[in-house]
Amino acid sequence: MADAEKKQMAKLPVTLGDIHVNNINQLRKLNETCFPVTYADKFYNEIPTLQREFTQFAYSGGFSIGAVCGRVEATPDPERKRLYIMTIGVLIAYRGRGVGRFLLDYLVKNAEERSDLAMVYLHVQTSNAAALDFYKNAGFENLGKIEGYYKRIDPPDCFLLGKVLRANDNAALPQLAADLGVVKQ
């Protein structure tokens, strides 16, 4: 499908649903389809313990077509925690229909409502131009490259992307980049 055709596709109405121990294998299957990496059991064991406002399925017509999983991470300053987007994925047949943006907006909106969260961030494989454009259009900044981040895919490098949640917290992104070993571009 050409890019022009994708842009003309109508937005898909979706509903959200909780991810829990009884449907975690549904998330596993979705992730196996959406991502070039295989997540360990430890990842799937953690998801049901995370806050619901940061872990949700996207459903359309009763089927899960996407999901977002994020976790709150502590920092030395309890008023400047970080939200890490562990995964956000949409089945390929449903991409370009606003589902990914719906999930991202849901996550960011919930993060902005918390006074203890300073920023949201994620890693994107350096070769994933579509994801890089998606996050750039959503206001995320490319903070630089982390070499050898992925162990079993090529290229193994990723970009660290971040978004400040409050205008008065501009120090959050440079601190994140320093903390996570970003190579300056």
What is the residue-wise DSSP string for the chain?
--HHHHHHSPPPP-EEEE--TTTHHHHHHHHHHH-SS---HHHHHHGGGS-GGGEEEEEETTEEEEEEEEEEE--SSTTSEEEEEEEEEE-GGGTTSSHHHHHHHHHHHHHHT-TTEEEEEEEEETT-HHHHHHHHHTT-EEEEEETT--SSSSS--EEEEEEESSTT-TTHHHHHHHHTTPBP-
If one counts the domains in the chain, the total is 1
In a domain, 86, yes or no: yes
Q: Has residue 184 been placed in a domain?
A: no
Q: What is the pLDDT of residue 79?
A: 85
Quote the DSSP letter at residue 73.
E
Domain that holds residue 115: 3-179
| Pick from 163, 152, 121: nearest CA to 35 | 152
Question: To which H or E segment does residue 65 belong?
Answer: strand 63-73
Please report whether residue 38 resides in a domain. yes
What pLDDT, on a 0 to 100 scale, did the predictor assign at position 103? 98
For the stretch 123-126, contacts whose Cβ atoms lie closer than 8 Å and that sit 24 or more positions apart, written own/partner, are 123/149, 123/158, 123/159, 123/160, 123/161, 124/158, 124/159, 124/161, 125/36, 125/150, 125/153, 125/155, 125/157, 125/158, 126/155, 126/157, 126/158, 126/159
Return averaged pLDDT per consecutive 10 residues of the chain, 185 residues in all: 56 94 97 94 97 97 96 90 96 95 97 94 96 96 93 93 84 80 70
Q: What is the CATH number of the domain that holds 139?
A: 3.40.630.30
Q: Is residue 153 part of a domain?
A: yes
Question: What positions carry a catalytic annotation?
Answer: 84, 123
* C-alpha span between 131 and 125 (Å, rounded): 9
pTM exceeds 0.85 for this model: yes
Token look-up 């902005």 returns 112
Q: Is residue 26 part of a domain?
A: yes
pLDDT at 1: 47
Asked if residue 185 is part of any domain, the answer here is: no
